[in-house]
Amino acid sequence: MVIPVHDVNPARRTPWVTYALLAADLVVFVFLTPGGPGSPAGASHLAQLCDLQAFLERYAVVPQELIHHRMPPLVPTGDTGTGPHGPGCVVGPPGYDKSPELSVLTAMFLHGGWPHLLGNLLFLWIFGNNIEDRMGHVRFLLFYVVCGYAASYGFALLDAGSGEPLIGASGAIAGVLGAYLVLYPTARVWVLVPFLVFLPLRLPAWIVLGLWFVLQALYSAGQGVSDASTVAYAAHVAGFAAGMLLARPLRPGTPPPPEPRGILFGRRARRAR
């Protein structure tokens, strides 16, 4: 997997919505997610785990709740207790009303750890500004949310019986990547390729994002990943496809990215400045 670090495709306007989404993801993870860096210290590992389970049950997407539009009779309460098999997390009737449809929106701002969060922020930072520039602030925000919903519903339809929480902005950001592939396929993207060391290369977006999509499709089909994988690859595929479809009407009027100063390989590449 190549790691994108920068695209050669300047935007004309400040991407305020992209910046706001980046900040919101970071703030929710650091200050609002139980067990995050901003959580109070001193709680036991079990207490933090039970608190996190209750938090995710309330604010994350649960496929079976989304498809059947009902909550389970018992949910984690956030408390700890001791049962026949030792200490554990207490479950009980939910003391709140949860809208499964609204949980799709709240789940877009939840992440399972620093690698999950930073990976999403990196892709949104690199590719989001150009899509926002092309669509405008309001339309981009609506586009982002629609792609997130498409990703969650797409995953839920394929795994309607799952009771595992689904979190992250990956589905919505996958939509941004799909739109970028449609609108700026020839834009150059600087990437790091792991080959003994990280090699910097400048590749067309259609290679970088096309490779990313192919890998997600293969992983969603169970190729190259273990059965214990916790990544919702099918949500990435659904979000990416939604982004491509929604961006296609904008393609005719999209100005091309600037021509690169040099090529990727060969003698002419050494003349690049």
Residues 6+ apart with CB under 8 A from 156: 61, 63, 64, 66, 67, 162, 166
Each residue's pLDDT tens digit, 110-152: 999 999 999 999 999 999 999 999 999 999 999 999 999 999 9
Q: How high is the pLDDT of residue 2?
A: 86
Length, in residues, of the chain: 273
pLDDT value at 195 more than 90: no
How far, in Å, CA of 104 to CA of 100, rounded? 7
Tokens 């994988």 sit on residue: 229
Contact at 8 Å (CB) between 34 and 81?
no
Using 50, 70 and 90 to split pLDDT, how confident is the model at 214? very high
Q: Are 203 and 96 in contact (CB under 8 A)?
A: no
Concatenating the DSSP letter of every residue in 96-122 gives S---HHHHHHHHTT--SSHHHHHHHHH
Which pLDDT score is estimated for 42?
59
Check residue 226 and give its pLDDT.
56
Residue 227 has pLDDT above 60, yes or no: no
Tokens standing for residue 111: 């992440």
Instruction: Answer for the pair 151, 171: CB distance below 8 angstroms, yes or no.
Output: yes
- Which pLDDT tens digit goes with each residue over 86-108? 899 999 999 899 999 999 999 99
Q: Is the pLDDT of residue 154 over 90?
A: yes
Mean pLDDT of 46-67: 93
| Model pLDDT, residue 41 | 64
C-beta of residue 25 within 8 angstroms of C-beta of residue 169: yes
Of 40-49, 89-98, 180-189, 258-267, least confident by mean pLDDT is: 258-267
Look at the block and give the residue holding tokens 């709140």.
96
Task: Select from 23, 97, 108 the least CA-distant residue to 60.
Answer: 108
Give the pLDDT of residue 259: 75
Tell how strand 3-8 and strand 75-83 pair up.
Answer: unpaired
Residue 7's φ and ψ, nearest 5 degrees, are -115, 145
In terms of Cβ atoms closer than 10 Å to its own Cβ (0-12, 13-18, 19+), residue 223 is exposed
pLDDT at 193 over 80: yes
Evaluate if residue 267 carries a pLDDT over 90: no
**Among 21-30, 31-40, 258-267, the least confident range:** 258-267
- Partners of 190 in the β-ladder: 6, 202
User: What is the Cα 179 distance to its own chain's centre?
Assistant: 14
Can you give the pTM of this predicted structure?
0.90
